[in-house]
Structures are given as structure tokens and as C-alpha cells.
Amino acid sequence: MQKLQNYINGELVAPASGNYIDNYHPATGKVYSLIPDSDAKDVELATDAAKKAFPEWSKKSIQERSAILLKLVDLIERDMDKLAEAESKDNGKPIWLAKAVDIPRAAANFRFYATGILHEHTEAHSMGEEAINYTLREPIGVAGCISPWNLPLYLFSWKVAPALASGNCVVAKPSEITPMSAYLLSELCIEAGIPAGVFNIVHGLGPKVGSAITEHPDIPMISFTGGTQTGATIARTAAPMFKKLSLELGGKNPNIIFADCDFDEMLKVTLRSSFANQGQICLCGSRIFVERPIYEKFKTAFVERVSQMKVGDPSDDKSKLGAVVSKPHMEKVLSYVELAKEEGGTVLTGGHRVEMEGELKDGYYLAPTVIEGLNYNCRTNQEEIFGPVVTIMPFDTEEEVLMYANSTKYGLASTIWTSNLKRAHRVAAKLHTGIVWINCWLLRDLRTPFGGVKQSGVGREGGFEALQFFTEPKNVCIKL
Ligand code: NDP
């Protein structure tokens, strides 16, 4: 069985403990590889290597850093199919989705930051004839990057690329549930000639490896994407050490559909925004609010289309949904369906495990699920489920739907469907979310700030925001 290795000081190495954990194939429920069960000793080795590499890496010209990272982009693109197949095998998502979204976007993230540094500028503030100030932006040192399992290489690259491009060295931990694409990336980093120690990947469990990164005194900045509770644990550890923190956390996103929308386009995109990646995207719209005049029409059309979505083998191009990521996650999602029923909800379609045959019979497949009849403030509508489950609710007025939409502790993203431009702007301004999509979903420009408000996070990723996070501004004032 394949044993993954840590990537420390430019080499693939076994964990200090010599122990490994099982890595499951969600499509079949079988163990298919072994992951290093690393601990604080491995994080120590990785941090030492990163500290040693930092002076030289941070002093390289931006052209040199850019060229090395662009080599990595070429290799990711060369291995696009291999990486997409590995991502699908590790995570359960359809291969077509990994080929269309995950891996191309991982390459795009590296390319964006490898070239972005060539166009960055800093500011100068003139004080007339008296003085001039200029601002330098300096890399900080060793960045700790911790990422989740839902879009494994894509979200990993979103942290690691700006950290490296801006001249920091990195100690990173991918989710232990989906480590394979990060492991394959470490092989490509060696091939691309990334200098030893600049980028280190330590595999293993969050409470061991993740917390060792968070606690390490020589890692002054942590970029984390994951659940809100884990984010709170990290913040508690990091705050007294005055670490810089970027936290991208959970969501419970509203999808607000007004009666005057382009119905067909809305329906097509709402199927995606509800169930793409088995509903395991932090941006999925899991609470669907529909203006009453079209509620019944929407319900009939939506339920019919959802019930026809094929759940199946991730390697089959016809599968709209593959497997969810793990058995415990499948059980968690199903427990929320039971909770919804207890809370008075009616399951209109789905709500159960999909039984497969042959090799796939122990895989973690869930039917896309639509629930109605729930209050906006019940647990099902307030807590993040992070699976193929949405609720639908009618509304009558803008004020009412804004109250529903803003009622959760989360504030990541929202979607509005309307052909009334004034209303679109008015509602967007009143939504408490970091991202608002109007008549679209997941349309991403890498230059834009990405992140949430309230308990969906602290700080922003994407664009130059990320380069700013991974650097410290220094103002220099010169008396003339
Ligand atoms: P978790 O919070 O469980 O884990 C995220 C990462 O943190 C994993 O690598 C995990 O390791 C690690 N970790 C766990 N415990 C600790 C700890 N004590 N200290 C440091 N690191 C730790 O999230 P999931 O992986 O379950 O991801 C799903 C969550 O991510 C959802 O809530 C989703 O909304 C959110 N998310 C947010 C996004 C955003 O941009 N706002 C984007 C995508 C997802 P291990 O895997 O070993 O537990």
C-alpha cells in the first residue's frame, strides 16, 4: 500500500514517530493509502528548515521567485489529469469536477501570485517640502498554512502560493482526510527546484500537527481555512502570541430568489449552488428563500430536477454527485436530515444514503436532499450541514427575507436572483456577508477579496489582500 511522506527541507521523509494513519477512498469505503501520523517533532524539523531557508528566499528578486513558482505551475498543468484523478479518489468528488475546477484553479492560484508580485507596488505619502514617507512591504518569516478537505489542492494553493510568492517560507498541513494532492504537489516542488526548506508539508491530524503549527513560537502568522470551532481554538492559541491570523470559516449561505428573476437561469445555477461538490463548498447556498408568487412553481421544478440528478461513481462523467468525503461526515449529514424531520420539516426528495452495487457498495453516497416547512431560526436553518441538503422557504417582503438571511451567526456569501437592478443593489448593501453574487454563483475573479463576516472568518484571502496578509508594512519617513 502506498505510504505518503512528509516534505521537509526539500526531501520526502517518514514521520518521526514512524506511525501512519489510514487514508480512505470515499467511493468504495476502503483504505487505499497511508498518511504520516506526524507530531510536534516533525513540525519542529519543518520550522527549523523554513527558518534556515528564509533569509535567502526572502532576498531573491521577485523575478527569481516568480520564475521558480511558474515552473511549478507548468508541472501542475502537465499533471492535470493525474492530479484530478487523485483528488477525486481522495475526496469522492466527480473526476470531471476536479478537472474543471479544483486543479485548474490550483494552477491559476500559483500563476496569479507568481505573476502578481511582478505588478505589486507600495505607497508613498508626501508631506510637501518637509518630508516624504514611503511604505515597504516585507515578508515576515515562516507562515503556517492549514487547509480543509473539501477543495483540497485548490484551497491549499490559495494560502501557500501568496505566502511563498511574497517571500515567506511555509510549513503547511493539508487535511488529513484528503492529503494526496498535497503529497503529489510536494513531488512537483522537488522537480520544480523549489529550494530546500522554503516549502514544507507536514501530514497528520489537526490536534497534533495543526496545533503544533499554531503553537510554534517561530511561526508568527497562521492562515487557516476550516470549521468555525477549529478557528476559535486556533484564535485562542494565537492571540496571546500576537500572531497574524487569517481565518476562513464556515457558512450558512442564503440564496434569495425574487419572482422577477430569469427563472430558467436561476434554476440551472441553483442546482449547482446547492449540490456542487456534494454540497461541500463553503459557498453553497443551503437556505433557499423564494418569493411567494413563484414558490410553488420553483418547488415543483426544483424537486423534479434534483430527483433526477445522478449520484454515482466519481469516475463516471454522468455522475452529478459523487461520494461525500468520509463515513463520519455522511453520518453527520444524515443526522441533520433526522433533526430537520424532528423540527417539523418535510423531505421533498432525497434524505437517505444511496445504495450502490459491486465495488462501490460501501461508498459514502447521499441523495441530494430538499426540505421544506422549517422555521428560519430552527437548528437545521442555523447550523452548517456542509452536505447535499438544502431547505426551501417562501417569503413576502424584502425586509422579511433580509431578516431571515442575516439571522445566522455566519456571514460568508449570499446570492440574489432578480431582474430589478435597484433592488439588487439595495438588498446586496443590507446583506451581512463578505461576498454577494447577483444572478450568478461562484463567479470568481482572483483579484477580488474573499472571506466572510461574523463567525465566517477574520480577514480576506484572494488578490492583493493575501499578499498584504503575508507581509508587514513598514513606513520610512525622510525629512527633506
Ligand atoms: P476542520 O476545522 O475540521 O479542519 C480544517 C483543518 O484544520 C484540517 O487540516 C484539520 O486537520 C485542521 N485542524 C483540526 N483541528 C485543529 C487544531 N486544533 N489546530 C489546528 N488545526 C486543526 O474543517 P474541515 O476540514 O472539516 O472543513 C470543513 C469546514 O471548512 C467547513 O466548516 C467549511 O465551511 C469550512 N470552509 C471554509 C471556507 C472558507 O473559505 N470560508 C472554504 C472551505 C471550507 P484534520 O483534517 O486532521 O482534522
Pocket of ligand 1 contains residue 461 by CB under 6 Å: no
352 near 340, Cβ under 8 Å? no
> 2-249+456-479 maps to which CATH number?
3.40.605.10
Taking only the tens place, the pLDDT of each residue in 245-281 is 999 999 999 999 999 999 999 999 999 999 999 999 9
For residue 160, name the pLDDT band (cuts at 50, 70, 90).
Answer: very high
pTM of the model: 0.97
Pocket of ligand 1 contains residue 381 by CB under 6 Å: no
Nearest to 329 by CA among 277, 286, 386: 386
How many whole angstroms from 226 Cα to the centroid of ligand 1? Answer: 3
pLDDT at 400: 98
Residues constituting the chain: 480
What's the rounded Cα separation, in Å, for the pair 351 and 366? 8
For residue 27, name the pLDDT band (cuts at 50, 70, 90).
Answer: very high
Taking only the tens place, the pLDDT of each residue in 306-350 is 999 999 999 999 999 999 999 999 999 999 999 999 999 999 999
Taking only the tens place, the pLDDT of each residue in 69-78 is 999 999 999 9
Write the DSSP assignment of 187-206 as a string of letters. HHHHHHTPPTTSEEE--S-I
Coil vs helix vs strand at 7: strand
- What is the average pLDDT score of the chain? 98
From residue 456, alpha-carbon distances to 405, 409, 428, 441 in Å are 14, 8, 18, 18
For residue 298, name the pLDDT band (cuts at 50, 70, 90).
Answer: very high
What are the boundaries of each domain within the chain? 2-249+456-479, 253-447
For residue 50, name the pLDDT band (cuts at 50, 70, 90).
Answer: very high
Taking only the tens place, the pLDDT of each residue in 93-145 is 999 999 999 999 999 999 999 999 999 999 999 999 999 999 999 999 999 99
Same fold, 2-249+456-479 and 253-447: no
Taking only the tens place, the pLDDT of each residue in 438-467 is 999 999 999 999 999 999 999 999 999 999
Q: Where are the beta strands (DSSP E) in 217-368?
A: 221-225, 244-248, 253-257, 285-291, 346-349
Show which residues are catalytic: 248, 282
Query: Percent of the chain scored above 90 by pLDDT?
Result: 100
Q: Whose CA is nearest to atom 40 of ligand 1?
A: 248
Coil vs helix vs strand at 414: strand
| E strand or H helix that includes residue 8 | strand 6-8
For residue 215, name the pLDDT band (cuts at 50, 70, 90).
Answer: very high
The sheet that has 244-248: what strands, in order across it?
Answer: 11-13, 6-8, 199-201, 169-173, 142-146, 221-225, 244-248, 457-458
- Helical pair 180-192 and 62-78, crossing angle rounded to 10 deg: 130
Pocket of ligand 1 contains residue 173 by CB under 6 Å: yes
**Most informative mutation of 175, 183, 246, 409 for ligand 1 (most atoms within 8 A of CB):** 175
Pick the CATH number of 253-447 from 3.20.20.210, 3.40.50.10310, 3.40.309.10, 3.30.365.10: 3.40.309.10
